[in-house]
Structure 1
Amino acid sequence: MMNILKRVITVLLCLILIAVAVVYFYMKQPQFGALPEGVRLERIKKSPHYRDGKFRNLEEKPTIAEGYSLVGELWESLTKDYPRTAPKDSLPSVKTNLKTIPADRNVIVWFGHSSFFLQLDGVKILVDPVFSGKASPLPWGVKAYKGSDIYTAEDMPEIDYMLLSHDHYDHLDYETVKALQPKVKYVICGLGAGSHYQKWGYTGRQIIEKDWGDKQEVKPGFTIYTESTHHDGGRGFTSSQALWLSFFIQSPSMNIYYSGDGGYSTRFKKISEKYPSIDWAIMECGQYNKAWQSVHELPEEVAQATTELKAKNMLPVHHSKFTLAKHSWDEPLERISALSQSKNYRLATPMIGEVIRLDDPAQTFKQWWKAVK
């Protein structure tokens, strides 16, 4: 009996060692990026937002809300069926030739989830591009919806600034970023995130790492400010080693705020006080759940935050490409459309690839999702 038990234990230990070895070598693949070290790490340690070996939110609060548990959420995800988390139909979209848009046009083209192209006063900006068709480092991971992944790195024009809100896989995509490197003049990212770009072949001249409250002068009258959000980051087993950002883009003709990912907090009132004129707010609205409300806003909070920003127009993003939460795929659009009817801002709900004319207050948008099953 003892011999059998010893054999069983030996086999189990061997299986555990094999599993550990497989994970170890798999994690060496380039898509996992790199942790900051050397001079980069020393700079990080000087940030007031880095304490006890990781970046911290301005207001500390648990990721999982009171009354919920991580184990419980994982169990529900495995055992409970949530209807319509992905569309059956292919999403409608428009293939706009970004390379032929006149330089004097101020436009946004949204690519699904949080990826978008912004041309403003002749400056070309690409934000959180994900064109690989997936939001996971695993081959069987989260895939893009049919029709939502029609753009590639080859479709992008030369980019003046690529902005990164944070280093999660649904915002920082290895394949996309690697392919874009020859087209990108500069990357603006949070402290620590530059280690990923450096590993993937970007030069030191291309990488600009910023803390909250920093700025980057683009040209006279055009400045990109990096501000806080309430979120986290990480691509491996070590979290919060690269700072998460929101952006305020101030140009001669208009001001644009991109929220990045993050739960609701008092920062929106403070942003409004610091930057009192916001023409467009690009707001995270999707992949939410009351259990992790602290790091992803509910639609009601998105509407409230946009109102507090005193934005004239709002574009909701972080939806209609990947299933990363339990709600139906079109619920973010349904809810924010209803919530925005009585607000002072104008809601823009373009199809993927549709050109938003930032200077055109008369432009209208269809509720395109209603025809999708």
Structure 2
Amino acid sequence: MNRLAKIVKRTMSIVLCVFVLLAVITYFYLKLPQFGAIPEEARLETVKKSKHYQNGQFRNLIEKPTISEGYSILGELWKTLFKKYPRREPSTTIPSVKTNLKTIPVSSNVLIWFGHSSFFLQVDSVKILVDPVFSGKASPLPWSVTAYKGTDKYTGDDMPEIDYMLLSHDHYDHLDYETAKALQPKVKHVICGLGASAHYERWGYSPQQLIEKDWYEKVDVKPDFSIYTDNTHHGTGRGFIQNQSLWLSFLIHSPSMTIYYSGDGGYTERFKLVAQKFPEIDWAIMECGQYDKAWQSVHELPEEVAQATIELHAKNLLPVHHSKFTLGKHPWDEPLKEITRLSQGKAYRLVTPMIGESVNLNDSTQSFQQWWKNIN
């Protein structure tokens, strides 16, 4: 019995040592710069003044469980670890083109999509970069979520001088440490949610570059040109502490057009409300990918994307949040196939460019290939 007790005691000591070692490693790993920072001191005091910050974190307008009814966190974790889902990644290189952003005529209104939710806009001579991720990964663990072959066509060096860089939220597939560091000398201003500028400040951005906003605020760019911040139903966090910065959608209202970017978030009544405030939306750039009925409250399904676009009364739909990273369980090309099917006969025009392909925002006759066809 004494021998058994010694074995149990030794085993427990080893387990405890391993646990303490892992805790120490995790603690110091989370101190690495790619995890960013949470708001402190004066920035935290500003955060606390927002009516959307309650009981120590930002909240959605209507609280909903992240996991849908009939599903469980443990069940979804088990599926992720042990169940196989077909065609979650393409078997070959994703087609793309390389447009020189630095030589685009200043008079051109264009959009260049870089895969997932990263894109460049030039509208009425203002250069805007949204949620850029150029490092080839969407996770602090380099091997866990990597970009598909052919999707890393662009780097920070390919970007021109940027007037405004927009951040919808701080998840790794939208805010990339390496990209943010590389772009710092080129970016005049960053517009982000309350609290999120703590990341940029840690990474070397000056206070003069950073513009933090709550929902329903605006930044005046120049006469008759404003960028509005609006709500979405999502969350934030780059470590164990969640929802310390605010998640956003954006409305870009220029003299020549109005562009809505949904950011990430589940379907709510917000699209109808946006349409009431901005009845002439030319372009809706909508999250469409990395969804699952298990977490439908925080990511829209394709049928909800189509419905939201109708409610926005948008003339054109450009779906994003797909074709670069695998974060959901669906086949990699399902978002494009489904939104194409669901958009048939709708009042809006569906636009599906290849990565890097120049979209002329003023040309309603420009056509695009269904480039994902014949890719397994």
Query: What TM-score do you get using the length of structure 1 for normalisation?
Result: 0.99
The residue correspondences of 1:138-217 to structure 2 (distance < 5 A) are: 138-217=141-220
CA drift at 1:140: 1.7
Higher deviation after alignment, 33-42 or 2-11: 2-11
The residue that corresponds to 2:272 in the other structure is 269
Matched residue SS, 1:253? coil
* 3-state SS of 1:160 partner: strand
Tell me, what secondary structure is at the counterpart of 2:372?
helix
Q: Distance in 1 between matches of 2:18 and 2:80?
A: 27
Letter in 2 for 1:80: K
Which residue of structure 2 aligns with residue 58 of structure 1?
A: 61
Which residue number in structure 2 is paired with residue 20 of structure 1?
23
Residue number in structure 2 paired with 1:362:
365
What SS does structure 2 have at the residue aligned with 1:371?
coil
2:133 maps to 130
Cα deviation code 1:119-162 (max 9, x no counterpart):
00000000000000000001221000000111000000000000
Helix, strand or coil at the partner of 1:262: coil
Which of 255, 259, 282 is the aligned partner of 1:256? 259
Opposite residue 207 of structure 1, the aligned amino acid is L
Aligned amino acid, residue 96 of structure 2: S
In structure 1, what residue type is equivalent to 2:367? T
Tell me how far 1:181 sits from its aligned partner.
0.1
Residue type of the alignment partner of 2:133: V
Tell me whether 1:279 sits opposite 2:282 in the alignment: yes
The alpha-carbon deviation at position 274 of structure 1 amounts to 1.0
Any gaps of 5 or more consecutive residues in structure 2? Answer: none
Q: Give how far 1:2 is off.
A: 1.7
Measure the CA separation in 2 of the matches of 1:269 and 1:115.
25
Distance 1:144 1:209 in 2: 29
Other structure's SS at 2:294 match: helix
Q: Which digits, 9 at most, give the CA deviation of each residue in 1:230-253, with x for residues without a partner?
A: 000000000000100000000000
TM-score, with structure 2 as normaliser = 0.99
1:27-106 equivalences under 5 Å are: 27-106=30-109
- Provide the rounded CA distance (Å) in 2 between the counterparts of 1:217 and 1:310: 24
Letter in 1 for 2:311: E
Distance 1:215 1:295 in 2: 24
Aligned to 1:2: 5
Match of 1:288 among 278, 291, 299: 291
Question: How far apart, in 2, do the equivalents of 1:291 and 1:11 lie?
Answer: 38
Q: AA paired with 2:234?
A: H
Partner SS for 1:133: coil
Question: What letter matches 1:291 in structure 2?
Answer: A
Alignment partner, residue 240 of structure 2: 237
Name the SS of the counterpart of 1:129 in structure 2: coil
CA distance in 2, matches of 1:38, 1:155: 36
Q: When the two structures are aligned, how many residues end up with a matched partner?
A: 373
2-side partners of 1:230 and 1:342: how far apart? 28
Q: Secondary structure at the match of 2:359?
A: strand
Show CA shifts across 1:184-226 (max 9, x none).
0000000000000000000000000000000000000100000
Letter in 2 for 1:238: I
SS in 2 for 1:205: helix
**What is the percentage of aligned positions where both structures have the same residue?**
69
- 1:344 paired residue among 347, 361, 373: 347
Unaligned runs of 5+ in 1: none
Amino acid at match of 2:75: G
CA offsets per residue over residues 245-294 of structure 1, 9 Å max, x none? Answer: 00000000000000000000000000000111100000000000000000
1:323 is aligned, of 322, 326, 334, to: 326
* SS of the residue 1:238 aligns to: coil
RMSD (Å), alpha carbons:
0.5
Pairwise CA distance, 1:344: 0.3
